[in-house]
Structure 1
Amino acid sequence: MTPFGCRWCGIEKSNHGRRWKRSKGMHGWEQPTQAQIKARMIARRNARTEVTP
């Protein structure tokens, strides 16, 4: 998931259009909150640094 993806579904703005999400319904791209951006960036960094056996 990209850090700056949609607030509701995580899809990038350039590829979003109108999307359906059960919890939100039909929606257009919405800017993620600062907390979402930070959490996504941390998750992406952690995924890159995990050691696979």
Structure 2
Amino acid sequence: MIKWAIIFFIISLVAGLFGFTNISAGAAGIAKVLFFIALAIFLIVLIFGVGLGMLVF
């Protein structure tokens, strides 16, 4: 998911460079959403991993 966020970020930069501001804003918005979803999934997995690690050890 981070890969897609980076791809949309690059699309946003290129579109902004060529003056397509609406496309740039849309791609940046999608990149932000994907980044925060990936961050939330990472934190959930981290919390469960630490919790299970404490149960096992």
Question: In which range does the TM-score fall when normalised by the shorter chain?
Answer: 0.3 to 0.5
Whose helix fraction is larger, Structure 1's or Structure 2's?
2
TM-score using structure 2 length? 0.36
| Structure (1 or 2) with the larger CA radius of gyration | 2
Whose strand fraction is larger, Structure 1's or Structure 2's?
1
